[in-house]
């Protein structure tokens, strides 16, 4: 019998290394929304939340009272910048088959701590889903204590919480958007 821990070949080694998207932030960013890692459709489009069934733009649009879901991608990013909201992911590179977080292998964390330290106006981080929250909080370490942190239900269609329940959770951050920490 082969000891599986000693076998060097694994499914992760057979998968290509995927590179995530660049952070979408400005020097005056006050809010940062962090996902885990872009799905296949997002990577192909080179757009955050590029899969049409992902509910991110509807959810964040409701929280910001902005028509993000109706806008094209450049307009979405411009609206976020105008409202001092940034986007990034807690994983910058990984191996994965498909788009599910459960399939992430050999993740390389984003340099979240460095980014946060370069954003003097940042006061709040909202994690889009449990995987993003778990990884992101580890990356932030003690720096998280100076920030307001929200762990929101994932906008992914794979997370089967009804949209109305996701929306209710995301709307709770709306009152916090312009409040200093």
Active site residue 128: no
- Sign of the alpha-carbon dihedral angle for 15, 16, 17, 21: negative
- Tokens encoding 177: 């958007």
φ, ψ dihedrals at 65, nearest 5°: 55, 45
How far apart are alpha carbons 91 and 112 in whole angstroms?
A: 9
The C-alpha torsion from 166 through 155 and 123 to 91, rounded to 10°, is 150
Catalytic residue among 36, 54, 131, 154: 54
Q: Helices 163-171 and 56-64 meet at what angle, rounded to 10?
A: 40
Query: CB under 8 Å, gap of 24 or more: what pairs does 63-70 form?
Result: 63/170, 63/171, 63/173, 63/174, 63/177, 64/174, 64/177, 65/174
How far apart are alpha carbons 101 and 104 in whole angstroms?
A: 5
Catalytic positions, written as ranges: 54
């Amino acid at each position: 019998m082969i000891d599986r821990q000693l076998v060097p070949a694994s499914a992760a080694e057979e998968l290509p290394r995927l590179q995530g998207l660049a952070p979408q932030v400005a020097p005056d960013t006050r809010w940062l929304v962090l996902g885990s890692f872009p799905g296949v459709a997002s990577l192909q489009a080179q757009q955050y939340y590029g899969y049409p069934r992902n509910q991110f733009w509807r959810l964040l649009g409701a929280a910001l009272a902005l028509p993000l879901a109706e806008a094209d991608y450049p307009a979405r990013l411009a609206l976020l910048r105008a409202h001092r909201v940034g986007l990034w992911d807690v994983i910058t590179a990984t191996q994965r088959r498909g788009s599910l977080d459960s399939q992430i292998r050999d993740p390389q964390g984003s340099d979240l701590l460095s980014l946060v330290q370069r954003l003097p106006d940042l006061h709040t981080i909202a994690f889009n889903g449990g995987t993003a929250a778990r990884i992101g909080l580890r990356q932030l370490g003690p720096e998280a204590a100076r920030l307001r942190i929200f762990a929101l239900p994932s906008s992914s269609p794979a997370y089967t919480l009804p949209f109305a329940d996701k929306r209710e959770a995301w709307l709770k951050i709306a009152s916090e958007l312009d409040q200093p920490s």
